[in-house]
Amino acid sequence: MVALLGLSAPGCLASEPDRVELADDDAIALLASVRADGYEAWEAPPTSADLPRRRLAAGPHGAYVEVYLHPDLLAAFFGDALIETWPTGATAVCESYATEDDSDPYLVNVMRRNDGGWSWAQVDGEDRPLTGARPDDCIGCHGAADDFVFSLFLPRE
């Protein structure tokens, strides 16, 4: 399954990115920003086009997930130029659900590419930050992916 999920053990990185530590307020600000951008209207990963938006998952983000990719991330992926890293502002959101029929996510996970690396935020169903101040949890798994994005691989020749 292709999603913003990983099953890799922490510490398996060949090299770690610059870390962008998010305090609780910054995690809430990142979540507010993607909500203001209307992330619920963003596309699913193109590799999942034939799958339902909410699908069974196998990883730390929950039993069921819905993944949303920012238009800038998709534009870089589908663009003519080869890229070595995702552009600044590229963002992905993964909503986590306990069951297929839940109406509200119990976790919202956000990752955004910044000038120096990625920022991550994870909040619970009541918008309380869980991961913003400890991105090692995110880097440990996402570090096994191509520039930290599991849903898409960087375009190559």
60-91: b (≥16 Cβ within 10 Å) or e: bbbebbbbbbbeebbebbeeeeeeeebeeebb
Q: Take residue 156 and report the two structure tokens written for it.
A: 């190559």
Asked if residues 130 and 107 have their Cβ atoms less than 8 Å apart, the reply is yes
**pTM of the complete model:** 0.73
Q: pLDDT tens across 82-101, in order?
A: 777 788 898 989 899 988 89
Residue 10 reports pLDDT greater than 50: no
CATH 3.50.70 fits 18-142, yes or no: yes
Where are the chain's structural domains? 18-142
CA distance 63 to 1: 13
**pLDDT at 150 > cutoff 80:** no
- The whole-number pLDDT of residue 153 equals 56
Highest mean pLDDT out of 56-60, 133-137, 143-147: 56-60
pLDDT at residue 148, as a whole number: 57
The predicted structure's pLDDT at residue 36:
95
What sign for the dihedral angle of Cα 107, 113, 116, 117? positive
Mean pLDDT, residues 40-56 taken together: 81
> 65, 54 in Cβ contact below 8 A?
yes
Do 132 and 23 touch, CB atoms closer than 8 A? yes
The average pLDDT across 135-144 equals 56
